[in-house]
Structures are given as structure tokens and as C-alpha cells.
Amino acid sequence: MATAVSLQPPSVDSLPSYTPRSGPLNFDVHNRSPDRHNDHAYHLVKNGKQWLTLSLRSQAGNDDKTPRFNQGHPITGSVRLALTNEAVIRSVSIMVTGELTSPAYYSRFLTMTRQLFVSDTNEVDLTLRDAPKAFAGKLKGEHTWPFSIRLPKGVCIVLSDAVKHNFRLPPTLTDLQSKAQIHYRVVVRVKKGLLNSDTRLSTEFTYTPLLRPTEPSILRQIAYLENQPLVGPEGDLEGWKSVEPFILTGKVFNARPVTAECTALDLLSIPVNSLEVVSPEDCHPEAVSTAVWWAAQERGGNTRERRVLHGEVNIPQDAPPSCRIVNFKLQYAITFLHLKAVGFTPSFPDGRKAALQYLHSEPIEVVTVPAHGPPQTSSLPPVYDAIPT
């Protein structure tokens, strides 16, 4: 596990990217049929009648009770007001918010407002480009106002250093075990007469950003298309990332010292860990998944002095993508732990505890959609297909 974290995130362009998946890499939340949608309705009731209704049309599945919106798809819906008697309604507005919460920190990083109805000229927000014209008089009966709000790809926030920082809108994070949570809400606000309190009706929704990796190398795409084994790093330099060899030292049966040189060639063959960072002093690492390994079958792969292993780690489909907002970031790293073998005891020359030791850790970016090109398939041998990772 990594123990030292910089608040400056690594360049996205320099990081390998992986899509959470289960089976072939063909799941794409942004490539669903445009006709697929689900309607959601929320009400306020008075005297047994629904007098305020918020309706949303989202990309959530039939079994999802929470609205879901992906980057690039607008938040569409309507607000319905049903008044039995005449009433003074000063304004009706819709607001979308994004909030970061942690035990020691709170930040509203997103606020978008649309005015749907105004009867008091003093309530007209002239800063809004689509502010409605003031309506003279009271309201009675049923009134419906449609709306469509397109979320931005990112936000610009001034932090404590008095410098503007650009952040991509983060995904919804609601894991109760997480040290920080990210919530998005749609809020309807009805302002009544001066002597009456305002009324609010709100609901949370799930937001997923569009994060796509670069295309695989040509040789790797051909292998996917023809369902062939991947070309190794010696034959496909663009399709792999090589790291410098690292040395493993220890003793066999607590007697004979040994030294081995290891090279991690494919980042998919290393365990994956996530790290939540709220501040430099508040870091929370967690294991996400563990790799499955098998012996290489290609000619010349294994010799008396050399062993070649292939591996793959399946990132859970519900793993949130990498993100950073204000002073919080969720980052992933592949961590090569010390090898475990019968009779072998690793040595730790720097004196650190064994629990803190790892041979190599490499940051990666977890994305939400596959790369363009042929669907990526698993390289696991058939015997491993039913083994959970």
C-alpha cells in the first residue's frame, strides 16, 4: 500500500486506464439506447391531494429507484403545481447542486439554477440568461413547467491558496464506508407570499462522468478482433507498459539467502488498490481486487532460471472512477506485493514493518467506458472463468 501521497494528481495522459467490468470489456453506460429511460415522480401532499410534483426522466434502469444521469445527457423533467384556491406564488425555481461531505469538511462545488415562474419583479434573477418574464396576478388550478439542464463537464473553484482550480465533475459517491461522500440533488423551490415560508421538494440523483481511455495498440486490437492471445511486450511495445526491474530478497527455509529480479510488464497483472485522500494527513487505502496468475505457455517463456507468469485483475463493475474535487481525490494504484511461497521469508532491508512493504506501486486511472475499437476480452484461461477476483 502506498503511504505517501501528493495532493498534485498525476497527469491523466500518463496513466493507464481501466474500465470496471465483469467479463468482456463491452459495458458502456454512455452507449445505451437513447430511447431507454425511466420516469420518476416526487410529490408534496396537502389535504390528501398532490399539490407539488417534480418529475424527472433519467437513464436509470427499471429497477433503479434513484434517477441516473450520465455526462452529456441533460437533466430533463417538469414541475407541476396544483392549487385548489388562488394563491400568491412569487416564484418557482429548479436548482441542481453537487456537494462534497466528510467528517471534517463540506463544500458545495456545483449550483445551477433555473427560474420557471416569477410574479414578483423583484424576484427576477437578471443574471440568468433564460429568466422568465414576470406574471401579474395570483395562480389557481394546475400549472406545469418543463425544464432541461445540461451539467457542465467541470467546475472552476478558488481554493484556500486563492488560485482558481479546474475540476472535472466527480461521480456520485455514497459508500457508507467511505470517508467522504459526493451527492447530487435536484431541488424545487416555491416562494409564496411574504408571510408564508418557502417550500422545497428535492431528490438525489446519480451522476457518472464520461472517462474513456486511449485506443489500444493496433496489434492488441487485432488480437481482440481475431480472438487471439495478446502479442507480448517484446513484439508490441506500444501495447504494454514496462517498469524497471525490482529486486526481491529473502531466505529459503530461513537458511539460504536468495535474490530475484522481477519485472512487471503488464499492469493488468498486479493487484489494484484504491486510496481516498481528504488531506495529506487523512489517507485511507483499501484493496479493491486481487490478480489471478497463470504460467505462460509461449515457447521460451520459462527456463530453469526464469519464470514468466501472466495475470489479470478484474476491477469490480461498481468501483467508482478516479476523481478529484476540492481537497478530496480518489485514486487507484496497482501494487506488487512481496511474493508468498512455502519456506520463503522476504527480507526488509530498510527496517520497515512487513505490512507496509511492497515491491512496486504504479498509479492508474479507472474510467467509465471502454476505449474506441473492438471490445476487449478477458485473457484468463477457461479454468479461471468461474473464479471470483
The reported pLDDT for the residue numbered 31 is 45
**Helix, strand, or coil (residue 164):** strand
Same domain flag for 16 and 54: no
Same domain flag for 204 and 262: no
93 falls within a domain = yes
115 falls within a domain = yes
User: Which residue among 174, 208, 242 closes a domain?
Assistant: 208
Same domain flag for 231 and 369: yes
String of b and e for 266-302 (b: at least 16 CB within 10 Å)? bbbbbbbbbbbbbeeebbebeebbbbbeeeeeeeeee
5 falls within a domain = no
The CATH number assigned to the domain holding 169 equals 2.60.40.640
216 falls within a domain = no
Burial class (CB in 10 A: 0-12, 13-18, 19+), 347: middle
The reported pLDDT for the residue numbered 279 is 55
**Helix, strand, or coil (residue 224):** helix
153 falls within a domain = yes
221 falls within a domain = no
Same domain flag for 116 and 199: yes
Same domain flag for 16 and 46: no
261 falls within a domain = yes
Same domain flag for 189 and 239: no
Same domain flag for 18 and 49: no
121 falls within a domain = yes
Same domain flag for 75 and 137: yes
The reported pLDDT for the residue numbered 281 is 55
The reported pLDDT for the residue numbered 30 is 46
Specify the pTM.
0.79
Q: Count the domains in the chain.
A: 2
Same domain flag for 282 and 183: no
Supply angle C-alpha 345, 348, 349, rounded to 5.
130
**Structural domain of 159:** 38-208
- Read off the pLDDT of residues 72-108 as tens digits, 9 standing for 90 and up: 999 999 999 999 999 999 999 999 999 999 887 899 9
User: Which residue among 152, 180, 208 closes a domain?
Assistant: 208
Please state, in angstroms and rounded to a whole number, the distance separating the CA atoms of residues 48 and 144. Answer: 20
Same domain flag for 199 and 343: no
Please enumerate in sequence order all residues whose Cβ is within 8 A of that of 127, keeping only pairs 6 or more positions apart, or say none.
none
Using 70 as the pLDDT threshold, list the residues of the chain that sit under it.
1-35, 195, 253-282, 297-302, 304-305, 341-342, 348-357, 381-389
Same domain flag for 163 and 263: no
Same domain flag for 116 and 71: yes
26, 20 contact by CB (below 8 A): no
Relative to beta strand 199-208, strand 292-295 is unpaired
